[in-house]
Amino acid sequence: MASSDNARYPSDALVEPDRRPRDAPERALGDFVVTHGLLWLVPIAVAIGACVAFVALGLLDLIGLVTHLAYTGKTGVRIQRPDIAPLGLLSALVPVAGGLIVGLMARLGSERIRGHGIPEAMETILLRGSRMEPRLAVLKPLSSAISIGTGGPFGAEGPIIVTGGALGSIFGQLLHLTSSERRSLLVAGAAGGMTAVFGTPVAAVLLAVELLLFEWRPRSMIPVAAAAMAAEVVREALTNAGLIHSVPLFPMAGAGVLAPAMIAGAALVGLAGGLLAWIMTRCVYAAEDLFGRLKLHWSWWPALGGLVVGLGGLIDPRVLGVGYETIGAELAGRLAVSALIALLLVKLTVWSIALGSNTSGGILAPLLMLGAALGGLLGALCGGAGEGVWALLGLAAALAGVTRSPFTSIIFAVELTHSVGSLFALLVACTLAHLVSVLTLKRSILTEKVARRGHHITREYEIDPLSAMLVRDVMSNQTTPAALALELRAQASGSPVAYPDETLRAVADRMVLSESTILPVVARGMPDRTLGLVSPLDLLRAHERVLDAERRRERTLDPRRWGMSAALRERPGEVSG
């Protein structure tokens, strides 16, 4: 285990005054690594965001058109709940027909249109160099419009996120860019798509940071924000109303937000939201495993899932389609307790089975509907605020628990309803939902899909220890014969050198690029003055420091010694034996 003295970790001596000269190389290091190349990514991201907004709004109109044609035989583009009255019992076959078409498109076109899209985007970013197939930009929205328009219990946001990501990736592949720059443009398109659907640009940027970027750097955040802003401008110019209509300001905006009963209720909703996330994840993958045991080809699965959806629609038509109108009714407190119970049970059943069949559709709108229903039910027990208040808390808690993105969930709820006064209660609910989710599930509903394909995704961000430590903190001296032999070997092979005042990350990059396993450390301006050696084992000392911080338990303040210290201050001439 690493020692905690300043000889091993000189940078721990923070109490010493800074005596380094102003022109010292390490003082030239910045908080972020950024180049001027970022400046020309911004206008590209703006163009992507604007284009994605047009595509997203077009997809919403296409979903509305398919819905009208499938259920009424009429034309129209307004998104609304499927009307089963004209077809009666035959309406149960409409989702089956949609499932057959989607299965055929996936089999003949691209298997990557299956599912809700976000896991595919994550996989593309991490494993495919952020390169999406251009045909996905056509097949994914078209298959989703058919799936959702024929009654599929999904939201349009997942497919739009994938479509936006595909457009961003296409832009990136047409230009001479690095994989990291393509990732920024891919995620910029995804954020633009979410903004165009919900009108929540800040939440879209946070979702990108918490879920898709896998880093927190200006080179990625700034283009994503630029795309979201452009998408919001286009959305505002083309439509005056959001898809989810709700009360703009809830009663909890007053002083009652910090009342003990309100905090306790928010905590209860948060715990229940985390439990709901566990149930939803288990149900989806239990359904997927069930379909996997069938002897039928996977292209038939969406049709079987569609049959369950059609029967569920006969029980409660509100479970069909995107459900934005129903979510708005929940937030406005217009649904009775019996309706919330039916909605919660039927929607959970048809959604998990349909999604388990690997048809095309998003998960955000369904989990918002389920979370709002759960919150409304708990609100009937808690009281003390309007039904919409509890529905909002449940909506955000479910989003936080399912996606493991608590900050996105908080800001999304505020942007959706303009209820700034709900921030504290949302923080309580989303934090507890996140806590329950991470304690009960190894992986979220998103990363489980990727894990089942043989890959692992970690969602934890931390400072790279190689970027936080300098060479002089870990380098080995050259006093031993073995070290001298290694130095001579390195010099004979023409290896590059390291400097004591540069970061370990820079040295690690140099080792990889030069295929060198050891570098002599020399003073700047004096290449003949060798100060030591740095090897991969020395680089691991940076990680040793992380392990020490996470595993070593110690008491640095001992109250039992306070009295002794005070006595010694009063009688400094006495020394205790």
Q: Which residues contact 427 (CB under 8 A, 6 or more apart)?
A: 410
- Looking at the chain, the whole-number percentage of residues with pLDDT higher than 70 is 85
pLDDT number for residue 3 = 39
Task: Indicate whether 212 pLDDT > 70.
Answer: yes
pLDDT band at 457, cuts 50/70/90?
confident
Task: Indicate whether 280 pLDDT > 80.
Answer: yes
- Of 152-166, 201-215, 272-286, 543-557, give the lowest mean pLDDT range: 543-557
Q: Which residues contact 355 (CB under 8 A, 6 or more apart)?
A: 115, 116, 154, 284, 287, 288, 305, 361, 363
Pairwise CA distance, residues 534 & 517, whole Å:
9
CA neighbours closer than 13 Å in the CB half-sphere of residue 551:
9
Residue 3 Rama label (left phi>0; alpha psi -120 to 50; beta) = beta
Q: What are phi and psi of 30, to 5 degrees?
A: -105, 170
Task: Indicate whether 204 pLDDT > 90.
Answer: yes
Contact assessment for residue 251 and residue 386, using Cβ atoms and an 8 Å cutoff: yes
Residues 145 and 219 in one domain: yes
CA distance readout (Å), 344 to 70, 214, 374, 542: 25, 33, 7, 50
Per-residue pLDDT averaged across 211-222, rounded? 86
| E-only strand ranges, 320-396 | none
| Residue 256 within any structural domain of the chain | yes
The token pair at 39 is 């400046």
Q: What are phi and psi of 503, to 5 degrees?
A: -75, 155
pLDDT number for residue 290 = 93
Q: What are phi and psi of 268, to 5 degrees?
A: -65, -45
- Of 50-59, 71-80, 367-376, 387-396, give the lowest mean pLDDT range: 71-80
DSSP class of residue 133 equals: -
Cα angle 108-111-114, degrees, rounded to a multiple of 5: 120
**For residue 481, what is the domain's CATH number?**
3.90.1280.20
Closest CA to 431 of 409, 415, 412: 409
Helices (H) and strands (E) in the chain, counts: 23, 2
| Residue 3 within any structural domain of the chain | no
Task: Indicate whether 313 pLDDT > 60.
Answer: yes
DSSP 3-state assignment of 243? coil
Strand partners, 532: 521
pLDDT band at 4, cuts 50/70/90?
very low
pLDDT number for residue 495 = 66
CA 549 from centroid of its chain's CA atoms: 27
Closest CA to 124 of 81, 172, 83, 195: 172
Over the stretch 511-538, which tens digit does the pLDDT of each residue have?
888 888 888 888 887 777 778 888 888 8
CA distance readout (Å), 190 to 262, 305, 454: 35, 27, 24
Q: Taking the CA atoms of 548, 550, 554 and 556 in sequence, report the sign of the dihedral they define.
A: positive
Pairwise CA distance, residues 201 & 194, whole Å:
8
Residues 487 and 524 in one domain: yes
pLDDT number for residue 214 = 83
Residues 475 and 447 in one domain: no
C-beta neighbour count of 109 within 10 angstroms: 17
DSSP class of residue 456 equals: -
Task: Indicate whether 253 pLDDT > 70.
Answer: no
pLDDT number for residue 309 = 93
Pairwise CA distance, residues 48 & 362, whole Å:
21
| Residue 407 within any structural domain of the chain | yes
Pairwise CA distance, residues 533 & 70, whole Å:
72
Torsion angle (degrees, nearest 10) of CA 152, 155, 157, 162: -30
Pairwise CA distance, residues 272 & 277, whole Å:
9
Mean pLDDT score of the chain: 82
pLDDT number for residue 257 = 58
Over the stretch 401-451, which tens digit does the pLDDT of each residue have?
999 999 999 999 998 888 888 889 999 999 999 999 999 998 888 888 888
Of 440 and 255, the structure prediction assigns the larger pLDDT to 440
Per-residue pLDDT averaged across 264-270, rounded? 93
The token pair at 109 is 């076109």
pLDDT number for residue 474 = 86
Residue 115 Rama label (left phi>0; alpha psi -120 to 50; beta) = left
pLDDT number for residue 490 = 54
pLDDT number for residue 492 = 59
Residues 153 and 298 in one domain: no
| Residue 460 within any structural domain of the chain | no
Closest CA to 327 of 367, 275, 285: 367
Pairwise CA distance, residues 275 & 254, whole Å:
29
Residues 445 and 479 in one domain: no
Domain end residue (candidates: 175, 203, 238): 238
Largest CA-CA distance found in the chain, in angstroms, rounded: 99
pLDDT number for residue 13 = 38
Over the stretch 25-45, which tens digit does the pLDDT of each residue have?
666 677 777 777 788 889 999
- Of 30-39, 66-75, 246-255, 259-268, give the lowest mean pLDDT range: 246-255
pLDDT number for residue 383 = 72
Residues 133 and 204 in one domain: yes
| Residue 412 within any structural domain of the chain | yes
| Residue 5 within any structural domain of the chain | no
Domain end residue (candidates: 210, 238, 266): 238
Residues 325 and 437 in one domain: yes
- Of 9-13, 522-526, 540-544, give the lowest mean pLDDT range: 9-13
pLDDT number for residue 571 = 57
Q: What are phi and psi of 526, to 5 degrees?
A: -135, 75
Count: domains in the chain: 3
Pairwise CA distance, residues 364 & 116, whole Å:
9
Task: Indicate whether 315 pLDDT > 90.
Answer: yes
Per-residue pLDDT averaged across 162-168, rounded? 86
Domain end residue (candidates: 181, 208, 238): 238
- Looking at the chain, the whole-number percentage of residues with pLDDT higher than 90 is 32
End-to-end alpha-carbon separation of the chain, Å?
A: 32
The 3-class secondary structure across 474-491, one letter per residue, is HCECCCCHHHHHHHHHHH
pLDDT number for residue 418 = 83
pLDDT band at 1, cuts 50/70/90?
very low
| Residue 559 within any structural domain of the chain | no
The token pair at 485 is 């032999």
Cα angle 570-574-577, degrees, rounded to a multiple of 5: 125
Of 239 and 283, the structure prediction assigns the larger pLDDT to 283
Residues 231 and 255 in one domain: no
Helical H runs in 383-464?
A: 387-403, 406-417, 423-440, 447-451
Residues 135 and 233 in one domain: yes
Q: What is the extent of the structural domain holding 488? A: 465-554
Strand partners, 522: 530
Residues 169 and 286 in one domain: no
pLDDT band at 345, cuts 50/70/90?
very high
Cα angle 107-193-199, degrees, rounded to a multiple of 5: 140
pLDDT band at 19, cuts 50/70/90?
low
Per-residue pLDDT averaged across 322-339, rounded? 88
Per-residue pLDDT averaged across 95-100, rounded? 93
Per-residue pLDDT averaged across 231-244, rounded? 79
Taking only Cα atoms into account, the Rg of the chain, rounded to an integer number of angstroms, comes to 28
Place of tokens 């649904």: 335
**For residue 56, what is the domain's CATH number?**
1.10.3080.10
Residues 481 and 432 in one domain: no
Pairwise CA distance, residues 562 & 245, whole Å:
61
Closest CA to 49 of 233, 243, 200: 233
Task: Indicate whether 252 pLDDT > 60.
Answer: no
CA distance readout (Å), 305 to 294, 356, 523: 13, 8, 68
Place of tokens 């905590």: 267
| Residue 165 within any structural domain of the chain | yes
pLDDT band at 248, cuts 50/70/90?
very low
Task: Indicate whether 11 pLDDT > 60.
Answer: no
Residues 428 and 345 in one domain: yes
- Of 186-195, 209-218, 522-531, give the lowest mean pLDDT range: 522-531
Contact assessment for residue 500 and residue 473, using Cβ atoms and an 8 Å cutoff: no
Closest CA to 319 of 310, 328, 332: 310
Per-residue pLDDT averaged across 261-279, rounded? 92
